[in-house]
Amino acid sequence: MASPRLKYLSLGVLVFQTTSLVLTMRYSRTLQAEGPRYLASSAVVVAEVLKILTCVLLVFKEHNYSIRALNSLLRQEIAHKPIETLKLAIPSGIYTLQNNLLYVALSNLDAATYQVTYQLKILTTALFSVSMLGRRLGVYQWLSLLILMAGVALVQWPSESAAAPEQEALSAGSQFVGVTAVLVACFSSGFAGVYFEKILKESKQSVWVRNIQLGMFGLVFGLFGMLSYDGERVRESGMFQGYSTVTWTVVALQALGGLVIAAVIKYADNILKGFATSLSIILSTLISYFWLQDFDPTSVFFVGAVLVIAATFLYGYEGKPSPNPSRA
């Protein structure tokens, strides 16, 4: 049993990671600065490089800092098992798409709306777990999924605005793009998470080695996406155009956050994860309103947010482990 101190430390880490990534990413995408804005596709690539290096260092540490042991393990598990390695190309490609979509979503949605809507990944993960892993959900879990859908629907409920028609139309179009990006990210997160869990259960390989394999494919897919979508801008101003301290913070949080969560998640039960999600939504709402000032909450939003928070707790009520594994 984990000590209470360790559990609360895990809670703090989960809340910090979830909230800080969303808020800093939103802030970085709306910050008015001189020169070009940084390329989201570039940030995804840099995050994959940082993630691979971090995982290599962790494997290096696991093998008592032996270069020979590290080299032997990587050759044996990656180069000598091409079929096993290729299996990770599918979730890696989907995760790369998902990471790019999150930048699109937070360029068009405030952090609070994004946080609540993104909880639909609980629904997609549950459905893919039932269909791909044969997992059975209890009555409380099915009920929580219905409440979750109702809550997200209320959060997206259009509010009356006194803005000019042109501005209102622009805002509606922007919100549509943001919500669409979140919904696609939820489906990709659910499928890739369950697929990755299935691979982990079928092998005894270290989760860090698996993340190195994921990162390798992610780097290839990310570079392809960057050159395809932003190739001209990269050739003109380089892939690090527009980078600032805030940008590097976003990249570090995206790269290392998943690894931190993977390390502490074993100490966090379903109730603790529910608390982390709830606190993160509340903090995102407060900071969006008071600091970023890009969010004007309505009573309908609050009702929807409460339903989503309640659904998160209810889903873990029966004490079954969450079907979505931690992926870095």
Structure tokens at 223: 């570079």
pLDDT at 111: 86
- Specify the pTM: 0.81
Residue found under tokens 């050759």: 75
Helix, strand or coil, per DSSP, at residue 321: coil
Helix, strand or coil, per DSSP, at residue 125: helix
A 10 A CB-CB count for 110 gives 23
For every one of its 328 residues, what pLDDT tens digit does the chain have, with 9 covering 90 and above? 456 777 777 778 878 888 898 899 989 988 877 778 899 999 999 999 999 999 999 899 988 889 999 999 889 888 888 888 888 899 999 999 999 999 999 999 888 889 888 888 888 888 998 888 888 888 888 898 899 899 888 887 766 554 445 444 445 568 889 999 999 999 998 898 888 888 877 777 777 888 898 899 999 999 999 999 999 999 999 999 999 999 999 999 988 876 776 666 556 655 666 667 778 888 888 888 888 777 787 888 889 889 988 888 887 765 444 445 445 4
DSSP secondary structure, 11-25, as one string: HHHHHHHHHHHHHHH
Distances (CA, A) of 195 to 74, 88, 154: 22, 9, 30
Structure tokens at 17: 């990671």
